[in-house]
Amino acid sequence: MSSPLPVIAITMGDGAGIGPEVVVGALADPAVYDRCRPLVVGDARRLRQAADVQGVAVEVVALESVAQARFEPGRVDVVDLGLLPDDLPWGQLSPAAGEAAYQYVRVASELAVSGEVQAICTAPLNKEALHAAGHLYPGHTELLAALTGTEEVSMMLSTPKVKVIHVTTHIGLIDAIAKIEPGLVERTVRRGHEAMRASGIEAPVIGVCGINPHAGENGLFGAGEEEEKIEPALETLRADGIDARGPLPADTAFFLAGRGDYDLIVAMYHDQGHGPVKVLGIEAGVNITVGLPVIRTSVDHGTAFDIAGTGKAEVGSMIEALRQAADLAPVSVG
């Protein structure tokens, strides 16, 4: 007898952006239901509007609880919070949409922590709208950490060619360099190592970027940051049997990972990791939060207000995010 498929809570994101469109577009693909049992947390009325925009024939069914879901192709089960105004315009900043996006994530987190769902997959929210609603988080990663009481998490970006985990993310570059220290580097690599093993790679090879050009070139560039902040962590990790190599020049590390030399790259700061990943595969990119008590994946694109409500949104990243969430999720017990 096969194991039950995991239930994945899909948060609708900012209702004024392309989140509703990519959600219904992805769930119009019957193959999604072969991998997981998808459950949207959002606004049923907005999803019906998005289905019309996308030109997809699905039945959007408003629910009050997970127990009412049927998880059938052609049917979109929605825990309907009903928070959006009827006349919410597409593509415009809205504090109401920011508040609703926060509540979708809050409810999904509660469902995950209670075990009613096995993973969370998030559509994009708009940070400015989130802040306008009074929720001052840099993004999903920090919001989910706060909602689940998690002290430290890491952002991982995954594409078919390269996977990257970040030591620091949404802080300024000067602040990021100040924050990097051996303990943080070590914990980040360990989280990445565990995530790679969970995805089926028994002995992952991990490449760790330096901070300076050419990883400092033996002291030629910088003030010894690699020796002070990174190398002690790598020594500890290797002593524990983790294959962590570096510090590597970032300008070649991603090329080497793309050809298969590394299973995971550790980036020291936001743009060091995000730039190469988005060149290599933003259309199929997935954002994974590593270190939470629940699995969380996300599309690797924003709310795209410029095309929201036009039917031009691509759904491939959402389908890939659901696939990876299903692959990483623990087996459902019900």
Domains of the chain, residue spans: 1-150+292-334, 153-291
Distances in whole angstroms, Cα of residue 178 to Cα of each of 83, 173, 184 = 41, 9, 12
- Give pLDDT, residue 334: 47
Give the pLDDT score at 300: 77
Read off the DSSP letter of residue 304.
-
Rounded to 5 degrees, what are φ and ψ at 255?
-60, -45
| Mean per-residue pLDDT, 168-175 | 94
User: What does the pLDDT average to over 77-91?
Assistant: 97
Q: Residue 190's closest CA among 149, 140, 233?
A: 233
Average pLDDT over residues 266-291: 85
pLDDT by residue (tens digit) across 29-62?
999 999 999 999 999 999 999 999 999 999 999 9
CA 114/CA 95 separation, integer angstroms: 29
- DSSP state letter for 214: G
What is the pLDDT confidence band of residue 282, given thresholds at 50, 70 and 90?
low
* Strands of 154-158's sheet in order across: 59-63, 75-80, 37-42, 7-11, 119-122, 295-299, 286-290, 154-158, 163-166, 264-267, 205-209, 243-248
pLDDT at residue number 1: 38
* DSSP code for 126: -
For the chain, the maximum distance between any two Cα atoms, rounded to a whole number of angstroms, is: 63
Nearest one of 49, 46, 51 to 11, comparing CA atoms? 46
CATH topology agreement for domains 1-150+292-334 and 153-291: yes
CA-CA distance, 96 to 107, in Å (whole number)? 17
Residue type at position 202: E
Going by the DSSP 8-state scheme, the letter that residue 226 receives in this structure is: I
pLDDT in tens, 303-332: 999 999 999 999 998 999 999 899 888 755
- The full DSSP string for 148-198 is TT-S--EEEEE-SS-EEEES--SS-HHHHHHH--HHHHHHHHHHHHHHHHH
* 285 vs 253: CA distance, rounded Å: 18
Which residues are registered as beta bridge partners of 296?
120, 289
Q: Sign of dihedral through CA atoms 130, 135, 137, 139?
A: negative
pLDDT at 331: 59
% pLDDT > 70, the chain: 97
The CA distance from 130 to 99, in Å, is: 6
CATH of domain 1-150+292-334: 3.40.718.10
Q: Which has the minimum average pLDDT: 58-62, 157-161, 190-194, 296-300? A: 157-161
Give the integer Cα–Cα distance in Å for 307 and 207. 37
Pair 167, 210: CB distance under 8 Å? no
Question: Poorest-confidence range of 144-148, 172-176, 198-202, 261-265?
Answer: 198-202
59-75: average pLDDT? 96
pLDDT score of 144 more than 50: yes
Phi and psi torsions of 112, nearest 5°: -70, -45
As a whole number, the mean pLDDT across the chain is 93
H-run or E-run covering 38: strand 37-42
- Residues 93-131 have pLDDT tens digits of 999 999 999 999 999 999 999 999 999 999 999 999 999
> Which of residues 269 and 330 earns the better pLDDT score?
269
In the structure, what pLDDT confidence band is assigned to residue 175 with cuts at 50, 70 and 90?
very high
- Exposure string (b/e) for 128-146, b if CB count within 10 Å is 16 or more? ebbebbebebebbbbbbbe
CA separation, residue 42 to residues 121, 174, 285 (Å)? 12, 38, 23
pLDDT class of 245 with cuts at 50, 70, 90: very high
Q: Which fold has domain 153-291?
A: Isopropylmalate Dehydrogenase (3.40.718)
pLDDT band (50, 70, 90) for residue 198: confident
pLDDT tens digits, residue range 203-220? 999 999 999 999 988 888
**Cβ–Cβ under 8 Å, residues 53 and 311:** yes
The whole-angstrom separation of Cα 37 and Cα 119 is: 10
The per-residue pLDDT for 333 is 46
